[in-house]
Amino acid sequence: MATLYLASGSPRRRELLTQIGVPFLSQIVPIDENPLPDELPVAYVERLARAKAQAGLAALSQPLDAVVLGADTAVVLDGRILGKPADAAEAQATLRALSGRSHQVLTAVALVSPARVAVRVVSSQVSFRPLRAEEIAAYWASGEPQDKAGSYAIQGLAAVFVSQLQGSYSAVVGLPLCETAELLEEFAIPCWQSLPVHSQEVAGRG
């Protein structure tokens, strides 16, 4: 079986892969995450996921038996990619824009080996209830939105903002587990490898 590498420093993606029982090694690869001019959001996340996986594979000294997973997530409102906030003002402006509205979350996952490349893109729709100014300020003060695309984390404190989700929860967190499992199977990497083996005692007749 090939060795799986996760080309990401995201603790959320590490937790999600661990959740489905897939052993892996972590890598951090430097990638320019700025969108290209006139680049559509779907093309953007797909390009970055593939670029991260390919950079991870290129960084390996012995890549022949390796598969590298890269992923990227974008929060999109009115066709515009909402990146990580530069400061409090940008984060609060983003949250005010998301307040009481629905937005799109796109997550791409790419698997790359020396022989092939496969990519999936998953789209989810997230709706926020109306947010009060004081809770937006308190949320920024918590520190959670500072390094998050769209200035929020659905798996964290911002869960209370979400009134509806259509699509994949794990994709909004950062890794679509259903689609990732399907891709891993294509590369002959099974899920649930770390499940404990339970023995079953069968009572005999005396």
Which residues are catalytically annotated?
72
Close Cβ partners of 183 (under 8 Å, ≥ 6 residues apart):
109, 111, 118, 120
DSSP string across 152-187: --TTTGGGGGEEEEES-HHHHHT--HHHHHHHHHHT
Cβ(161)–Cβ(129) under 8 Å?
A: yes
Phi-psi group of 157: left, alpha or beta (phi > 0 → left; psi -120 to 50 → alpha; rest → beta): alpha
Distance CA 181, CA 106 (A): 18
Determine how many CB atoms are found less than 10 A away from the CB of residue 35: 18
**Is 15 within 8 Å of 8 (Cβ atoms)?**
no
